[in-house]
Amino acid sequence: MALHQALELVRGAPIADAAPGQWHWAEDWRCEMAAAVRDIGVALANLALARRDIDLARWAAARALLASPQDDQLMMVRLRTEHLAGNQPEVNRLAFEVMRRSKVLGFELSEEMADVVQEAITGVPRLRFDDDK
Protein backbone atom coordinates (compact mmCIF):
# COMPACT_ATOMS: atom_id res chain seq x y z
CA MET A 1 0.00 0.00 0.00
CA ALA A 2 1.39 3.41 -1.00
CA LEU A 3 0.37 5.12 2.26
CA HIS A 4 2.29 2.53 4.28
CA GLN A 5 5.33 2.87 2.03
CA ALA A 6 5.26 6.65 2.37
CA LEU A 7 5.20 6.46 6.17
CA GLU A 8 8.09 3.98 6.17
CA LEU A 9 10.25 6.82 4.83
CA VAL A 10 9.56 9.04 7.86
CA ARG A 11 12.43 9.29 10.31
CA GLY A 12 11.50 12.49 12.14
CA ALA A 13 10.33 16.05 11.67
CA PRO A 14 11.35 17.58 8.34
CA ILE A 15 14.59 19.59 8.52
CA ALA A 16 14.73 18.94 12.27
CA ASP A 17 18.52 18.66 12.26
CA ALA A 18 19.00 22.23 10.99
CA ALA A 19 20.00 24.90 13.48
CA PRO A 20 17.23 27.39 14.35
CA GLY A 21 17.00 29.97 11.59
CA GLN A 22 19.50 28.11 9.39
CA TRP A 23 16.94 27.22 6.77
CA HIS A 24 14.37 29.93 7.43
CA TRP A 25 13.66 30.13 3.72
CA ALA A 26 12.43 26.51 3.80
CA GLU A 27 9.95 26.98 6.67
CA ASP A 28 6.93 26.83 4.34
CA TRP A 29 8.22 23.60 2.81
CA ARG A 30 8.86 22.12 6.26
CA CYS A 31 5.28 22.89 7.31
CA GLU A 32 3.87 21.44 4.09
CA MET A 33 5.93 18.25 4.47
CA ALA A 34 4.85 17.79 8.09
CA ALA A 35 1.21 18.37 7.10
CA ALA A 36 1.49 15.87 4.24
CA VAL A 37 2.94 13.22 6.56
CA ARG A 38 0.21 13.98 9.10
CA ASP A 39 -2.48 13.60 6.43
CA ILE A 40 -1.02 10.29 5.29
CA GLY A 41 -0.85 9.03 8.87
CA VAL A 42 -4.43 10.03 9.59
CA ALA A 43 -5.69 8.49 6.34
CA LEU A 44 -3.88 5.18 6.89
CA ALA A 45 -4.90 5.02 10.56
CA ASN A 46 -8.55 5.67 9.68
CA LEU A 47 -8.46 2.96 7.00
CA ALA A 48 -6.94 0.60 9.55
CA LEU A 49 -9.57 1.49 12.16
CA ALA A 50 -12.33 0.82 9.63
CA ARG A 51 -10.86 -2.70 9.31
CA ARG A 52 -10.29 -2.88 13.10
CA ASP A 53 -6.55 -3.28 12.51
CA ILE A 54 -5.37 -1.72 15.79
CA ASP A 55 -1.69 -2.46 15.23
CA LEU A 56 -1.61 -0.72 11.85
CA ALA A 57 -3.55 2.28 13.19
CA ARG A 58 -1.11 2.61 16.10
CA TRP A 59 1.87 2.32 13.78
CA ALA A 60 0.53 4.89 11.30
CA ALA A 61 -0.22 7.46 14.00
CA ALA A 62 3.10 6.91 15.76
CA ARG A 63 5.06 7.20 12.54
CA ALA A 64 3.26 10.41 11.52
CA LEU A 65 3.78 11.86 15.00
CA LEU A 66 7.53 11.67 14.34
CA ALA A 67 7.07 14.34 11.67
CA SER A 68 4.28 16.28 13.34
CA PRO A 69 4.54 15.84 17.13
CA GLN A 70 1.48 16.70 19.21
CA ASP A 71 -0.73 17.19 16.14
CA ASP A 72 -4.40 17.32 17.14
CA GLN A 73 -5.63 15.16 14.27
CA LEU A 74 -3.09 12.48 15.07
CA MET A 75 -3.91 12.66 18.77
CA MET A 76 -7.60 12.17 17.95
CA VAL A 77 -6.72 9.10 15.87
CA ARG A 78 -4.63 7.77 18.76
CA LEU A 79 -7.49 8.33 21.21
CA ARG A 80 -9.97 6.57 18.91
CA THR A 81 -7.50 3.71 18.35
CA GLU A 82 -6.88 3.09 22.03
CA HIS A 83 -10.60 3.40 22.78
CA LEU A 84 -11.39 0.81 20.11
CA ALA A 85 -8.63 -1.41 21.53
CA GLY A 86 -10.18 -1.14 25.00
CA ASN A 87 -6.94 0.32 26.37
CA GLN A 88 -8.49 2.68 28.94
CA PRO A 89 -5.25 3.52 30.77
CA GLU A 90 -3.71 4.80 27.52
CA VAL A 91 -6.93 6.65 26.64
CA ASN A 92 -6.79 8.38 30.02
CA ARG A 93 -3.09 9.22 29.60
CA LEU A 94 -3.61 10.66 26.12
CA ALA A 95 -6.69 12.63 27.20
CA PHE A 96 -4.80 14.06 30.17
CA GLU A 97 -1.89 15.01 27.86
CA VAL A 98 -4.24 16.78 25.44
CA MET A 99 -6.04 18.67 28.19
CA ARG A 100 -2.78 19.61 29.95
CA ARG A 101 -1.28 20.92 26.71
CA SER A 102 -4.45 22.93 26.07
CA LYS A 103 -4.26 24.50 29.53
CA VAL A 104 -0.51 25.23 29.33
CA LEU A 105 -0.85 26.84 25.91
CA GLY A 106 -3.99 28.71 26.95
CA PHE A 107 -6.45 27.54 24.34
CA GLU A 108 -9.71 25.63 24.39
CA LEU A 109 -10.07 22.23 22.82
CA SER A 110 -11.69 22.22 19.40
CA GLU A 111 -15.24 20.86 19.28
CA GLU A 112 -13.98 17.79 17.44
CA MET A 113 -11.23 17.12 19.98
CA ALA A 114 -13.64 17.62 22.90
CA ASP A 115 -16.03 15.12 21.27
CA VAL A 116 -13.28 12.53 20.79
CA VAL A 117 -11.93 12.96 24.32
CA GLN A 118 -15.41 12.69 25.85
CA GLU A 119 -16.35 9.58 23.91
CA ALA A 120 -12.98 7.91 24.49
CA ILE A 121 -13.08 8.52 28.24
CA THR A 122 -16.74 7.75 28.92
CA GLY A 123 -17.77 5.68 25.90
CA VAL A 124 -20.69 8.07 25.41
CA PRO A 125 -20.86 10.77 22.72
CA ARG A 126 -20.69 14.32 24.04
CA LEU A 127 -24.04 16.07 24.32
CA ARG A 128 -24.47 19.14 22.19
CA PHE A 129 -26.94 21.89 22.85
CA ASP A 130 -28.09 23.86 19.84
CA ASP A 131 -28.58 27.52 20.78
CA ASP A 132 -30.88 28.03 17.79
CA LYS A 133 -33.64 25.78 19.15
- CA 16, CA 67: separation in Å to the nearest integer? 9
User: What letter represents residue 132's amino acid?
Assistant: D
Tell me whether residue 16 is in a domain: no
Tell me whether residue 56 is in a domain: yes
Tell me whether residue 17 is in a domain: no
Is the pLDDT reported for residue 131 higher than 60? no
Tell me whether residue 33 is in a domain: yes
Tell me whether residue 47 is in a domain: yes
Is the pLDDT reported for residue 133 higher than 50? no
Question: CB burial class (10 A; 0-12, 13-18, 19+) of residue 89?
Answer: exposed
Tell me whether residue 32 is in a domain: yes
Residue 84 pLDDT: 94
Tens-digit pLDDT profile for residues 18-41: 666 777 777 788 889 989 999 999
pTM for this entry:
0.82
Number of domains in the chain: 1
Tell me whether residue 37 is in a domain: yes
Domain of residue 106: give its range: 25-122
Tell me whether residue 11 is in a domain: no
